[in-house]
Amino acid sequence: MSILSDFHLHSYFSGDCTIPMEEMTDAAIRRGLHSMCFTEHNDFDFPKTADMPENPFLLNVDSYLYELTMLRQKYDGRIKILFGIEIGLQPCCQKKNALLADSWDFDFIIGSSHLCNGADPYYPAFFEGKDPKECCLSYFRETLHNIRSFSDFDVYGHLDYIARYLPEDAAPYKSMDYKNILEEILKALIAKGKGIECNTSGLRKSLGAVNPAPEIIRLYKELGGEIITVGSDAHAPSDIAAGFDAAAQILTDCGFSYYATFEKRRPVFHKI
Ligand SMILES: [Zn+2]
Ligand SMILES: [Zn+2]
157 C-alpha to ligand 1 centroid (Å):
6
**What pLDDT score does 50 carry?**
84
**What pLDDT score does 206 carry?**
86
Half-sphere exposure in the Cβ direction for 132 (13 Å, CA):
16
**What pLDDT score does 68 carry?**
98
The stretches of the chain forming alpha helices (DSSP H) are 21-30, 61-74, 94-103, 132-149, 179-191, 214-222, 244-253
Domain boundaries, the chain: 5-271
| DSSP track, 45-87 | TPPP-TTS-SSTT---HHHHHHHHHHHHHHTTTT-EEEEEEEE
**What pLDDT score does 52 carry?**
85
213 C-alpha to ligand 2 centroid (Å):
17
Over the stretch 201-215, which tens digit does the pLDDT of each residue have? 999 988 899 999 999
The span from the CA of 11 to the CA of 169, in Å, is 34
Query: Residue 143, Cβ neighbours under 10 Å: how many?
Result: 26
The span from the CA of 70 to the CA of 160, in Å, is 35
43 C-alpha to ligand 2 centroid (Å):
11
The domain 5-271 belongs to what CATH superfamily? Answer: Metal-dependent hydrolases (3.20.20.140)
- Among the bound ligands, the one closest to the CA of 122: 1
**What pLDDT score does 20 carry?**
98
Q: pTM for this structure?
A: 0.97
